[in-house]
A and B are shown apart, each in its own frame.
Chain A
Amino acid sequence: MKGGSPRRYREWGLAYLMLLPALVVFAVFTFYPFARNFKLALYQNPPFPGLPSRYVGLHQVGTVLSSTSFHQSLVSTFFYVLMVVPTGLLGGLLLALAAHKAIRGMSIFRTVFSSTVVTSVAVAAVVFGTLMDPVVGLLPWLGIDPHPAILQNPTWALPAVALIAVWQFLGLSFIIMTAGLQSLPDEVLEAARLDGAGTWTMFWRVTVPLLSPTLFFGLVVGTIYAFQSFGQIDILIGPQNSGFTHTNVLLYAVYQALSIQNDPGMAAVLSIVLFVILLVFTLIQLRFLERRVTYANA
């Protein structure tokens, strides 16, 4: 649209006027912090509180990116996302397939399956924390004595918090998959049945390809969700175990840098890294995956 006549200008003016409240909110809470963050990254924290921070340019970025703790964080995040996203998507799909059958009372299951979406992270973390408790938890009840306790165990702590994330993502994943299944063209599935496809072929050769737009969407949403896990780690592992490097996923590392190490510069660098990773990841997914996805009405 090209502005030209005075009337156009007046319309544009009005449009901006109406957008102003939203723009102000965005500016204060999103754009300004976003920009400010980049500035923070260029300043190094003083060795003692009270002294002014020092401009160091990209030097700090280099230090953080080459530190072992950052590498550890990156690896942990990578494993964490790998544990959460595929499991959550597959679990959601299986639940959705199970609930897709037109059986009476199925709506109750649908409600139950999708309820994890509305459960708060804190509640979920406390419940799972209790289940994983070395004294009153599930394992001692089953007669297994976990030693050291799961959440203090360097091998199992990350999978344990990932499990909570999977559980929480399951509800959203289930809703996405159910919506996807309901939009599948019935006649195509029926044609496949008549053409002799068994359950296995039906699933892998027909349902999954037809569902690929949904799976793709779930993948993007799930990845962003997993990268942003924070609550369960803070509550279950928390500052009391701040020496735990292997559960230090990127977002938690940002928090740690800021509130435990009191190092806003480092936190800024880490959060920029997180931002760039998510950006690149989303772009890759959009570029490469979307091309392979089959849209049913194509």
Chain B
Amino acid sequence: MAGVSFQRVSKRFDETAAVDDLTLDVHDGELLVLLGPSGCGKTTALRMVAGLEDPTHGDVSIGGSVVNNVEPKDRDVAMVFQSYALYPHMTIRRNIEFPLRQQRVSAEERTRRSDEAAATLGLTELLERKPGQLSGGQRQRVALARAIVRDPQVFLMDEPLSNLDATLRIQTRADIVALQRRLGTTTLYVTHDQVEAMTMGHRIAVMRDGRLQQVAAPQELYERPATTFVASFLGSPGMNLVPASASGGELRIGDAVVGAASGSSDGPLTLGFRPESAHLDVEGLNAEVVLVEQLGAETHVICKIGDGTKVVVRQGRDAVRPDLGDHVAIVVDANSLHTFDPTSGVRIEPAQ
């Protein structure tokens, strides 16, 4: 087992910096999720660990030694590709055995280990089939089996669930987590789905435009986002971000006082609050209802406040639902306010 570390790693493709000065440690045995929107450099980061892409700058290490010049096959990492990348001409058994054959593992042990991997992922019945005869979810599990059969130092997984339907995704998600916890193999898991990230990762690294925004445990990330980007990216819907100002120890949105300004000096700032930290009341921040989304257990009320900014309020099942066009007043829980620098978007910590 071994950790993975990026030391000031950059990767450029001509003009675009796919990964920009990334420094990140994946601890031994940890499942770290790389989260970010499409095109932010997640896959590129993963491929640099695999050795399929060479960093333009910086060092990638596995188990403490720099692997920049180590061939992919000598890195002892297994990758699960988004497209599964199974060998279409081989049976499932052959697919799972393939890495073992390359390592010249004896036939007996090969069979034993591939049987075991297949059993772990519930593929025993399918061993003699070809990938073309399997469903997406089954192929996905074959790809996982082919990775675990090697017992590598590191698992690299690139959006392995993105081709599955919602039900299967939730189930496979749980399977991968259980498997990773049982094997204790260091895992770097790429996704752009924040729910997946929140439920699977020991820690989550959020990326944007090739740059690392924040690395933290899921709850920490949710409760103390380091930037407005992280704040709005996590949660569904994300955090409300409203232009506000601090003056005389008070935080104001427009004219409405919404809380005490502790720590921030007077001036403009960006105020953040989660949809569940706000409710509709008779007095508060004036707004107009522009959309009501009912999701069964909860309702999202989307309102427009004075300066045109949209704010989402999450209501429980019992709350009184407003109608479209209603004028309402939003009250924000004063203890759940986040403040950010209005230009850089960096979090401003309240003074204790």
Binding site for B on A (CB under 8 A): 185, 187-188, 190-198, 201, 206, 209-210, 212, 294-298
Q: Which of B75, B81, B103 contacts A191 (CB 8 A)?
A: B81
Would you give the shortest CB distance from B244 to chain A, in whole angstroms?
A: 47
A191 to chain B: closest residue by CB? B85
Count residues on chain B whose CB falls below 8 Å from chain A CBs.
Answer: 26
- Given A294-B89, A298-B88, are A193 and B52 neighbors across the interface (CB < 8 Å)? yes
- The listed residue (B83, B88, B98, B131) touching A195 by CB distance below 8 A is B98
Interface SS of chain A: helix
Out of B72, B87, B99, which one reaches A188, CB within 8 Å? B87
A185 to B73, CA, bound (A): 19
- Contacting A at CB under 8 A, from B125-140, are 130-132
Contacts of A201 in B (CB 8 A): 102
- In the complex, are the beta carbons of A194 and B87 less than 8 A apart? no
Which residues from chain A contact B77 at a C-beta distance below 8 Å?
194
CB of B302 closer than 8 Å to a CB of A: no
**Cα separation A209 to B82 with both chains bound (whole Å):** 22
Residues 97-138 of B, flagged 1 when their CB comes within 8 A of A and 0 if not, give: 011001100000000000000000000000000111000000
Contact with B102, one of A187, A188, A195, A209 (Cβ below 8 angstroms): A195
B85 CB contact (under 8 Å) in A185, A198, A294, A295? A185
> In the complex the two chains form, is B81's CB within 8 Å of A196's CB?
no
A298 in contact with B132 given A195-B73, A196-B99 (CB within 8 Å) = yes
- Name B residues whose Cβ lies closer than 8 Å to a Cβ of A: 50-52, 72-73, 75, 77-79, 81-83, 85-89, 98-99, 102-103, 130-132, 146, 150
- Contact with A194, one of B78, B89, B103, B132 (Cβ below 8 angstroms): B78
Residues of B close to A296: CB separation below 8 A: 88
Provide a sorted-by-A list of 27 A–B residue pairs whose CB atoms are within 8 angstroms.
Answer: A187-B82, A187-B85, A188-B85, A188-B86, A188-B87, A188-B88, A190-B85, A191-B79, A191-B81, A191-B86, A192-B98, A193-B73, A194-B51, A194-B52, A194-B72, A194-B75, A194-B79, A195-B73, A195-B99, A195-B102, A196-B99, A197-B73, A197-B102, A201-B102, A209-B89, A210-B89, A297-B88
With contacts defined as CB atoms under 8 Å apart, how many contacts are there between chain A and chain B in the complex? 69
A200 to chain B, nearest CB (A): 11
Q: How far is the CB of B253 from chain A (nearest CB, A)?
A: 49
Residues of A within 8 A of B73 (CB): 193-198
Closest residue of chain B to A193 (Cβ to Cβ) is: B72
Distance, CA A185 to CA B86, complexed state (A): 10
Residue A298 contacts which of B50, B72, B130, B150 (CB distance < 8 angstroms)? B130
Tell me if B132 and A192 are in contact (CB < 8 A): no
Give min CB distance, A184 to chain B, whole Å. Answer: 11
C-alpha gap A188/B146 in the complex (Å): 13
How many angstroms between the C-alpha atoms of A296 and B99 in the bound complex? Answer: 20
Chain A residues with CB under 8 A of B86? 188, 191
**10 shortest interchain CB distances as A-B pairs:** A196-B102, A298-B132, A294-B89, A187-B85, A191-B85, A195-B99, A209-B89, A196-B73, A187-B81, A188-B85
* CB neighbours of A185 from chain B (8 A): 83, 85
Q: Would you give the shortest CB distance from A162 to chain B, in whole angstroms?
A: 32
Residues of A within 8 A of B98 (CB): 192, 195, 197
Which of B51, B83, B98, B146 neighbours the largest number of chain A CB atoms within 10 Å of its CB?
B98
Report chain B residues within 8 Å CB of A295.
88
What separation, in Å, do the CA atoms of A212 and B131 have in the docked complex?
Answer: 17
Q: Cβ of A196 and Cβ of B103 under 8 Å apart?
A: yes
Give B126 Cβ to nearest chain A Cβ, in Å. 15
In the complex with contacts A195-B102, A201-B102, A190-B52 CB distance below 8 A: yes
